[in-house]
């Protein structure tokens, strides 16, 4: 039979309760906190999806397009970004030749999340993602493409979808 006083003495002299020192518990807690933080950050980055660095303000872009006589290219995505949306960013919109065509065409670039109840979604008939819009400077004439658009089709078909009367002459000369 073990003596109660002796058991208390052993705990006091070893400085441990339950076999763990205070510093060991803090190290474990710190490690778990760092691990949890890493999981949250990685999860958020995956959830958020890739970004193009384009404007997020369609109203401002449409106003500028009208004032400057420029077309607007709009990438409409979901939140979180779907697999097809991620594909569009990595396989089409981020490609060098397409970036160059957008720059040479002097387009205003907008990336927005789909809000089916918004006025712009109703006006342009956007109901699914990803959707690409090519909007003429007047804001009325537009071309819409839903789903995947290949790298070359983006340059040779999508960016040239508006007639020359609808679009400024510099955008019809894209490569």
Q: How many Å apart are CA 85 and CA 98, to the nearest integer? A: 16
Average pLDDT, the chain: 83
For position 172, what pLDDT does the model report? 39
* pTM as predicted: 0.69
Q: Which residues of the chain have pLDDT under 70?
A: 1-19, 42-51, 163-175
Q: How many Å apart are CA 99 and CA 122, to the nearest integer? A: 28
For position 27, what pLDDT does the model report? 87
Q: How many Å apart are CA 141 and CA 145, to the nearest integer? A: 14
């Amino acid at each position: 039979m073990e003596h109660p006083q002796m058991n208390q003495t052993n705990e006091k002299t070893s400085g441990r309760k339950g076999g763990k020192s205070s510093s060991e518990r803090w190290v474990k807690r710190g490690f778990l906190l760092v691990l949890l933080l890493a999981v949250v950050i990685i999860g958020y980055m995956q959830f958020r999806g890739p970004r193009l660095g384009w404007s997020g303000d369609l109203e401002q872009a449409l106003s500028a397009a009208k004032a400057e006589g420029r077309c607007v290219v709009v990438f409409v995505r979901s939140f979180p970004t779907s697999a097809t949306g991620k594909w569009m960013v990595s396989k089409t919109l981020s490609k060098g030749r397409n970036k160059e065509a957008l720059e040479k065409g002097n387009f205003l670039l907008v990336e927005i999340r789909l809000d089916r109840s918004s006025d712009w979604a109703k006006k342009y008939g956007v109901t699914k993602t990803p959707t690409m819009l090519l909007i003429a400077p007047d804001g009325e004439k537009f071309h819409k493409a839903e789903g995947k658009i290949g790298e070359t089709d983006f340059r040779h078909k999508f960016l040239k979808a508006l007639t020359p009367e609808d679009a400024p002459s510099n955008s019809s000369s894209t490569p």
